[in-house]
């Protein structure tokens, strides 16, 4: 992936030899918050008031972390309030690029930059940071508000409610402790677990990661046998954080990241649950399976050195899910 070091692009990659073959994800470095009145959020500085047209989102349609933010932009009716640019699916020697394709990747409409690292350079010419998406950008101050997806979705969940009158709440205060417990397990063993398995460079690290991953999938399969959603009858952020990994599982992680004990479609409760979420209003258009398959297989030369992109599996995402009927019975 590379990174910026003192403002200069470097192709330096994380050395798994230093971590006994384990892939270790670094924390996001930009952690400000948009709030309804511009007051400071849990981290970062104040001054980021929710306002129509002020903020811009840079995303990859292949990236599960960025996908979360696109989903919340749809769910919370923010399409007319937060603008979006999509990077090209090929992430090569200079990282995410704004090369155009025949689809949704249509360049950088704010600055006409060629690569995402230039966004970070504009925010801080001396930045030392990984160059990741999503990037939530403030057009007024030319600053990065946040590149932490789990916090961006919480901003989108509530900060713009006074503008949109959309009061759906996927982070309800009375269940936050329980949601966080679910999030914690899913993040460490599943969302990030697929990467731990896929980028492992020792057999021990791979086996530990893939075992924990399928333990969690089995736990989820059982949990969803008696609950429509992870927390019961109501959708929460935990469901959407899980969905973006599930929807990529058979397409990419099963083969490319060697998570091949089972496929998603072999797990009836998880598979029906994923279809239900996919079929909800506005969600399908956030899922670009061509970008997903292309990105992982063409960009990860350490895993796929010949950059051969497989054909997509034939998956019927619109098959009736029957979740409500089955849980009720």
Task: Enumerate the active-site residues.
Answer: 63, 195
8 A C-beta contact, residue 60 and residue 291: yes
Query: CB-based burial of residue 218 (10 Å sphere; 0-12 exposed, 13-18 middle, 19+ buried)?
Result: middle
Strands 3-5 and 8-10: antiparallel
- What three-state secondary structure class fits 298? helix
- What three-state secondary structure class fits 58? strand
Cα separation, 173 vs 212, whole angstroms: 29
- The whole-angstrom distance between residue 87's C-alpha and the CA centroid of its chain comes to 14
8 A C-beta contact, residue 41 and residue 32: yes
- What three-state secondary structure class fits 4? strand
């Amino acid at each position: 992936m590379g990174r910026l070091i003192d403002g200069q692009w470097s192709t330096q990659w994380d050395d798994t030899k230093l971590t006994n073959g384990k892939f270790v994800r670094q924390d996001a470095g930009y952690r400000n918050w948009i709030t309804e009145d511009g007051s400071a959020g849990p981290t970062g500085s104040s001054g980021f008031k929710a306002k129509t047209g002020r903020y811009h989102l840079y995303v990859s349609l292949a990236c599960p972390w960025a996908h979360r933010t696109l989903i919340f932009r749809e769910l919370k009716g923010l399409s007319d309030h937060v603008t979006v640019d999509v990077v090209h699916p090929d992430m090569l020697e200079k990282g995410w690029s704004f090369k155009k394709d025949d689809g949704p990747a249509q360049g950088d409409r704010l600055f006409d930059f060629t690569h995402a690292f230039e966004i970070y350079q504009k925010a801080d010419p001396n930045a030392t940071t990984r160059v990741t998406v999503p990037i939530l950008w403030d057009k007024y101050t030319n600053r990065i508000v946040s590149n932490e997806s789990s916090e961006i979705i919480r901003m989108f969940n509530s900060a713009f409610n006074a503008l949109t009158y959309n009061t759906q709440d996927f982070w309800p205060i009375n269940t936050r402790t329980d949601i966080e417990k679910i999030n914690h397990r899913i993040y460490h063993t599943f969302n990030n677990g697929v990467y731990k398995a896929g980028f492992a460079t020792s057999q021990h690290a791979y086996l530990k990661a893939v075992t924990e991953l399928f333990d969690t999938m089995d736990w989820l399969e059982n949990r969803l046998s008696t609950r429509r959603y992870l927390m019961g009858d109501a959708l929460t952020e935990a469901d959407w954080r899980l969905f973006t990994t599930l929807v990529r599982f058979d397409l990419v992680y099963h083969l490319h990241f060697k998570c091949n004990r089972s496929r998603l479609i072999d797990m009836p409760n998880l598979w029906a649950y994923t279809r239900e979420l996919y079929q909800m209003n506005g969600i399908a258009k956030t899922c670009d399976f061509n970008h997903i398959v292309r990105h992982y297989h063409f960009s990860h030369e350490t895993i796929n050195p010949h950059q051969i992109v497989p054909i997509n599996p034939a998956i019927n995402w619109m098959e009736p899910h029957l979740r409500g009927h089955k849980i009720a019975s």
